[in-house]
Every structure is written in C-alpha cells, then in structure tokens.
Structure 1
Amino acid sequence: MSARIQCISPVDGSLYVDRPVATPSEIDAALARARAAQKAWRRVPVGERARLVGGLVEAMKAMGNRIGEELAWQMGRPIRYGQGELRGVEERTNYMVGIAEEALAPVLPKDVRPGFERYVTRDPLGIVFTIAPWNYPYLTTVNSVVPALIAGNAVILKHAAQTLLVGDRFQEAFDRIGLPAGLFQHLVLSHEQTIGIIAGGHVNHVAFTGSVPAGRAIERACAGTFTTCGLELGGKDPAYVMADANLPFAVENLVDGAFFNSGQCCCGIERIYVHESLYDGFVQGFVDLTAKYVLGSPLSADTTLGPMARTNLADVVRRQTAEAIAAGATAHLDPAAFPENRDGSPYLAPQVLTGVGHAMSVMTEESFGPVVGIMKVKDDAEAIGLMNDSPYGLTASIWTEDVAAAKRVGEEVETGTVYMNRCDYLDPGLVWTGVKDTGHGAALSAIGYDALTRPKSYHLRLTTN
C-alpha cells in the first residue's frame, strides 16, 4: 500500500482529508514540466507576469466561503475569522505586483563610461520549492509563491498535511486565471520525498516556514547542492509595555496578539514585560479581556477561540503551563470557566501567567498556543535584557507614546522586525526576516525579490569601424 497523507480534523477528530503521496514517476514528471514551463515563462515581460499572477486575488476571493469552512475543519480557526487571511493575500499580492517592474528592473552603475553599456539584471533562479505550514496556510504560501512566479520562476508547492486543501485551492486559482501549465504545481509529498527532492538538487531555492529541527534538516539537505534556502523557523516574540503606554490600547491589542488563532501565530505575542508603574492595571485588564473569549467548535458563529490544530500541540502548552504553576507561577484563569476545555483534546482554554521567570519553559521555549506569561520590569535595560534572552528573534513590539524611545529600545533588541504600538502583523512593504534560531532569508518587499533571483552582469564594449 502506498503512503498516504491525512488531515485529522481538530473539530471532532474525524478524518477530513486522505491523499496518496505522489509516486516517484509523478514527481519526476512534475519537475520536468516545471523546468519546461519556466524556460518559456522567464521570457515573458515582468509586467505581463505580474498582471497574470495578480489575478490570484480575485480567484481566491471567489472561493472565500469554501475556504473559511475548510480552514475551520482543517486547523480549527473559527469560521467567523475564516476569510480573514484572504485580505492579507490581497494586500501582499497587490503590493508585490505593484513594485515588480521597479524591483526587477536592470541596475545601472552610477558612473557612465563612454563606449560601454553596463547593467545588472535580476534573473530567475529556476524552480522554487515552497514548503508551507498549516497555521496561516494562505499567507505563508503567498509570501514566496507570488513573488517567485512574478520573478520568472516555476513553483512546486508542498503544503502541510494539516492543510492539504490549501494547496488544492492555490492550484485551482492559478489554473482558473490561466497560468501556463506546469508553472505552478501542488504535490502531496512525504517528509522523506521532500528531503529527497532537495538533496537531489532538483530545485533551485527552498522557501520553508516551520520548526527549527525541520529547518536544520532542510539546510542539511541543501548542503553540497548549492540550492539556496529561506527559513522562517521558531519564535518567542516579546512585547514591552513602557511607562507611558496607552494602557487600554496596549491591553486590547496584546490580548489579540497573544490569543488570535489560538496563539498559533508565527509572530504572536508569547511573553510580555510591563513597566512596574503599569503592571497591576495591565494584568487586571489583560485577564478581564481574555476571560471573554468563547472556546468552542470553530463551526459556531459564537466561537472566538477554536481548538488548536492537534492534540499533541495543545499538550505542549499544557505541560509548559503545569511546569510554571508547579514552580510558583500564578494562573489567572480557571479552565473550568471554559466548558469546552478538555484534557486529551485540542480544545484548550486561554491562560495568563504571572510570577513567571526565564527559568520556566513557558518564557523561553516556543509555546505556539493560548498561553502568555507577564513579567514586571523596572526600566528599559531590564526589559531589553529579557527580550534578548531568547534563542529566537522574529518580531518584538514596544508600547509607548514616545517614538524616539521606541527607536532607542528597538535598536538594542535582537529581532527581525520592531513594532511600535502594534503586533502580529506583516507589512509587505518591509522585509520579513529573522535572526538567531528564527532562521535566515528574506520575504516580501523589494528585498524579497532579491532572494528569488540571481544577479547577472552585462559589460558590453562598443567598437568603432
């Protein structure tokens, strides 16, 4: 019997999607189609490529109702938020379309040399292999797929088992807008097949979002093949609430930043440091607002907090929370107040912890779930030290009314993005990147196009008769 990829729904534990993995001959054929399609596609003018790929937005929006329901069944996001990702798909796609011709235009040296024509082009890499996660399955896919295609590459998409149907929807959308056959292909692959494609040197670039161990495995597979890779890996994103912060605004936005999508956000807030002058009021407001979440089936319109994608992921959060409480932390929410909260299931109540410290895993290891620890700090130096006390560095948010202070603190924080008075958002006009174990590479913005192309220099000397 051939291997299969299955999605077990967090809604009720039922088998929601069941697919056979691609056969070796199907993989070889897909790669051959991609190489052939890319040779023709790269010769299409950038503006035409961008216009065609930009049609993805309307094609996806036309499937909006179906997408919202499928996400609820596949990974547990409440159906009331189900189509929210499509707004991000639209924003990011339209931005990358809008800057394409300028970002991919030839670069001319500033010095003009009579008798010579000199310039640098941005040539496509060839085949881009996107390996996408389940937590924001449309947005994380768009980050690489759209600019890769616009830059003249072919794309092979391997989507997470939990969200296989997302890959189908991308295939359906690109087929609907008339993208050349073979240029974009969604394949159902095992982990072993995925590594084999990379290690065999069959693709030119890998765009991966996922865990640190998986990122290391991909780097090892790339070794010796000269295949480039962009890796967005783990995170433990901090927030610092300064003494002059707008307290109600900070509370409202940080609760959402911590618990939206059941805390399963790449740049979600996992730890908060609050200046001692605001600490008590912040904690009280944070707990009161968190208590208003409604945990339940994502298919219900009343639900604001759905189940986590899998029980084993919820168990990680349960373990971290229990360890913190055993070490002296205070849990401010009674799980019994959330009737759907059940041990041994992906349904997990939100939790707010104080009395925490960096000897606890909940403050240092990625949680990726609905728990957050809050610590009191006396000044900027203490906050910066704690924010940097992490193996990760994706985003950090600073809550203050003083722009200069935010810049000053931000310069000292080891992170890919610094926010002031917002969090859990990706601006397509700014590069998406990380430091330390969060990985390396760049997505979106003009810099994102650089990661999906290679420079090629032209030095043309003119001769006279």
Structure 2
Amino acid sequence: MNITLYSPIDGRVVAERALASAEETSAAVERAADAQRSWRQVALHERAVICHKAIDYFVQNQEPIAEEITLQMGRPIQYAAGEVRGIEERARYMIDVAETALTDELIEEHAGFNRFIRHEPLGVVVTIAPWNYPYLTAVNSIIPALMAGNSVILKHSNQTLLCAERFAEAFKQAGLPDEVFQYLHLNHEGTLALINHERVDFVSFTGSVSGGEQIEKSLAGAFKGVALELGGKDAAYIREDANLAHAIENVLDGAFFNSGQSCCGIERVYVHESLYERFLTGAINQVYEHKLGNPLDPETTIGPMVSVNAAAAVRQQIEDAVAQGARTGVDQHYFERSEEGTAYIAPQILSHVNHQMDIMTEESFGPVIGVMSVASDEEAVKLINDSQYGLTASIWTEDEEKALAIGDLLETGTVFMNRCDYLDPALPWVGVKQSGRGCALSVLGYQQLTRPKSFHLKRI
C-alpha cells in the first residue's frame, strides 16, 4: 500500500512511498531495542559529537531543505529556511545542556553511605511529528532522546514524509550507529500498532486534540510514558499602556505567519477599550501589506494552507461567526488567489465577536483572528482563561510588574510579554488543559525521556 504526497501549491505529486507493513514495523522496533543497549553505553560527549554533526548536515543543506518544506506544506520560501535556523538553535542548546540534565545527582554526605540519583534512558522512543513545523516539532524530542541514550523511531506526517528521510540521512552522515534512529511511513492503524509494541517505551506526539485522545485511549493500561503537544487558542491582551505600533506588527505576525498554522499562533485578541478602535484600524491596514500567492515566489508572504479541506474549515468558521453578528474587516477580493475550493485563503480580522462563537473558542489553525474590546485586566484574564486550551498567552504592556501579576492568573504553560509565537529552548514547553501534557525543551525536557534510578550504597 502506498501513500502519495500532494503539494498544496498546485496539487503536484511531490513523493510517493510504500507504507510499512506490520512485519516491517515490528522488526524496526526490535532492531531499535537491540541497538539501544549499545547506544546507552556510548559516552555522553561522543553522543554530543554525533548529534552536532547531524545538525551540521541541516545547516549545510539549508537551501534544498527549505524548498522541500515549501513544496510539501506550502510555507513561503522566504521563510522556510528559518526553520533550519530554528533546528540549529534548539538542537545545539539541548545538546549543550545534556550534561547538566543527565549527570548523577549526589545526595548530601552521610557517614558510610554513597547515595545518588542516576538518570537512565527509557529505551525505545517513538516520535510522531506534524506537518506544520516538520523539523522544529520533531527535533524537540529526537535530539534529547538520543542524547539521553534512547533509540528513536520517527513517524512523520504523511504530508511531510521527506522530512523523516532527511533526519535519517543527517544521522547516517553523522555516524550514528545503525538502527539507533529509524523512520517508518505509516497510516493511522500502523501508527497505533507501532506505539502499542511491547518494546516501545515512550511516545511523543504533536498534533490535534483528537489525535492525542486516540493515543491515550490506545495506550490505556500499557504503563508507557506519553508526551502530548496538542491544540491551542492562544490569546493576546493589549493593555492600555501598550506600545500600539509594536503590538500590531507582532501580534499580526504571530497570527498570520505560516498561514496561521502554528500551535502557539495568536487566534484571539483582547484590546483595552481605550485602544480598541486604533488597534483594529491599524491591524486591518497592515493586513493589506501581505502578498498571498505561490509560496515559491520570493515575494509571497502568505502561502496556501496545507490542504483545500483545511482552508474550507477556516472559511466555514468565518461564515458561522458572520452569521452570528461578527463583522469582517478585510476585503478578501483584494487578494487574487483567495478562492473558494482552493487551499489559498486571505488573512481575515473579525470584530463584534464573542465567546458564543467558535471563532473565539475553537482552534482555527488558519489566518484569522477575532478582536474584542475589554474594560479591565480582570475582564481580559477571565476571557483568556475561558478556553479549553492553555498553551501560551501574550501581554502587551510597558509595565512588567503588571504583566507578572496578570501572568500568574493565566491558565497557560507560557506567558509572554511584548512578544509571542516563539519557543525559547532554555524554557520548558508545556501545555495545560487540552493543550497537552508533558514537558519539552530546557533541562527539564530530559526528565520525561529518562527514569530516575536511586543508588544507596553502604560501605562496610
């Protein structure tokens, strides 16, 4: 059975691959488990050398990799290379902090005893990666898993299957021992079979809430570790003391970059009533500076969504909001490629919205935001927390103390001030509510990829 990868640009066939059979999947897990026993014995500094060399491969091949990203999922070519730079930043940071994260933790001296905690690898880690940031999302678990002494099997989205093959080539050229890293092209049934294999020890999944629910249900009673990075409906709050020009520019970038297909992209905006009209007018005017079009054109700033169906879902959400009283601010006819029945959809800003509309409560994952006026910090906090999601929230203000006070009340994994839509590898990436569970990046990211083992040695 084969899988065909069609480009959202124009429907061309980018690649066609055979799906792994049940027998091939089981054999891959067995090889990974066997290879991991030797890999865990490799010194940490040697693992670091290999992982750095793998990242060198991505840097050296940045141009063709960027073009592949564009062809596979539609990100404008002028931005696609930025993902390679992001891989380097995250991966090298996680490599460099591995010693701090993995060194034995000595307990205070006690006469006649040697006591310490060792961080052991789990075994076989399965990474299930999405298409929207195909390298950045995958590297979050792949590099620390390998640095910790695990073996890794990558199941990438079938929309970005070439990324899995790039990872394999990078590790091959870096000299990673055979079978320590593998990839499999699988459908949903094959993926569930993979994660349920008795020799798989941990599953890292980035994707939809429904996908995360399916994985958790499938693994119920298996006693395996699971990390889930799921949906988001991330909010921005523009306080009355915000630098308005800075807020407009950066909130819109956080909303429309990657055609709005970012787990931590801005999807709803709350503006203090004193700035509301000025924010709305300024934001709408700035939208017209974008160019919607073929992402291979270096002038394009917004490309197609990943599929016709994805674009149709966003259009439907906008239509439903308008039917309930919302008003559109952007003339879609200004953007030539924005056509029904295509993956191309122009950015949109909606006003007169409320929390009875899906546009303010359900994940859009497209180039649209709703903007509401609020009278106070308290009202903004209440509305931000009125969500089933809790990934990030951003506060736009000149008052850091106020931002900290508001941030303490927000039910999110990350709080930003005067920026948004960014993952700092030095900080843990976590979600609350239906945005997921687990912790990636930072020194803490190693905790879910290892198990603590206590040594209590008495000297006679």
Q: Which TM-score applies when normalising by structure 2?
A: 0.99
Deviations 1:272-294 (A, max 9, x none): 00001111111111111111110
Deviations 1:9-38 (A, max 9, x none): 101112222111012222122112211211
What is the RMSD computed on CA atoms of the aligned residues? Answer: 0.9
Matched, 1:236 2:209: no
Equivalent residue number for residue 26 of structure 1: 24
1:413 to 394, 407, 410: 410
Matched, 1:70 2:61: no
Q: Counterparts of 1:427-442 in structure 2 under 5 Å?
A: 427-442=424-439
1:99 to 97, 100, 106: 97
Kindly indicate whether the alpha-carbon contact (under 8 Å) linking 2:33 and 2:199 is maintained by their aligned counterparts in 1.
no
**Aligned partner of 2:430: which letter?**
T
**Aligned partner of 1:19: which letter?**
R
Q: Counterparts of 1:11-90 in structure 2 under 5 Å?
A: 11-90=9-88
Equivalent residue number for residue 308 of structure 2: 311
Deviations 1:233-282 (A, max 9, x none): 01000000001000000011001000000000010000000001111111
1:186 Cα offset (Å)? 1.1
Higher mean alpha-carbon deviation, 11-20 vs 328-337, is at 11-20
Distance 2:397 2:19 in 1: 50
Give secondary structure in 1 for the equivalent of 2:105. coil
1:108 to 85, 106, 118: 106
Matched, 1:330 2:327: yes
Give secondary structure in 1 for the equivalent of 2:389. coil
Matched, 1:201 2:198: yes
1:51 Cα offset (Å)? 2.2
Matched, 1:191 2:188: yes
Equivalent residue number for residue 4 of structure 1: 2
Give secondary structure in 1 for the equivalent of 2:363. coil
2:152 to 150, 155, 171: 155
1:200 Cα offset (Å)? 3.2
Matched, 1:274 2:271: yes
Q: Which runs of 5+ in 2 are unaligned?
A: none
Equivalent residue number for residue 165 of structure 2: 168
Higher mean alpha-carbon deviation, 28-37 vs 172-181, is at 28-37
Give secondary structure in 2 for the equivalent of 1:55. helix
Deviations 1:346-404 (A, max 9, x none): 00011000000111101100000000000000000100010001100000000001110
Q: Counterparts of 1:362-381 in structure 2 under 5 Å?
A: 362-381=359-378
Distance 2:361 2:22 in 1: 41
Distance 2:221 2:16 in 1: 35
**Aligned partner of 1:120: which letter?**
I
Q: Counterparts of 1:205-284 in structure 2 under 5 Å?
A: 205-284=202-281
Higher mean alpha-carbon deviation, 28-37 vs 248-257, is at 28-37
Kindly indicate whether the alpha-carbon contact (under 8 Å) linking 1:200 and 1:225 is maintained by their aligned counterparts in 2.
no
Q: Which runs of 5+ in 1 are unaligned?
A: none
Matched, 1:292 2:286: no
Higher mean alpha-carbon deviation, 92-101 vs 266-275, is at 92-101
Higher mean alpha-carbon deviation, 79-88 vs 45-54, is at 45-54
Distance 1:337 1:452 in 2: 49
Kindly indicate whether the alpha-carbon contact (under 8 Å) linking 2:66 and 2:84 is maintained by their aligned counterparts in 1.
no
Distance 1:344 1:4 in 2: 26
Equivalent residue number for residue 346 of structure 1: 343
Q: Counterparts of 1:116-155 in structure 2 under 5 Å?
A: 116-155=113-152
Deviations 1:319-348 (A, max 9, x none): 110011111111011111000111011000
Distance 1:56 1:425 in 2: 23
Give secondary structure in 1 for the equivalent of 2:103. coil
Give secondary structure in 2 for the equivalent of 1:43. coil
Distance 1:62 1:51 in 2: 16
1:224 Cα offset (Å)? 1.5
Distance 2:359 2:369 in 1: 8
**Aligned partner of 2:70: which letter?**
A
Aligned length: 460
Kindly indicate whether the alpha-carbon contact (under 8 Å) linking 2:130 and 2:206 is maintained by their aligned counterparts in 1.
yes
Give secondary structure in 1 for the equivalent of 2:401. helix
2:391 to 365, 378, 394: 394
**Sequence identity, in percent?**
53
Higher mean alpha-carbon deviation, 93-102 vs 126-135, is at 93-102
Distance 2:197 2:143 in 1: 25
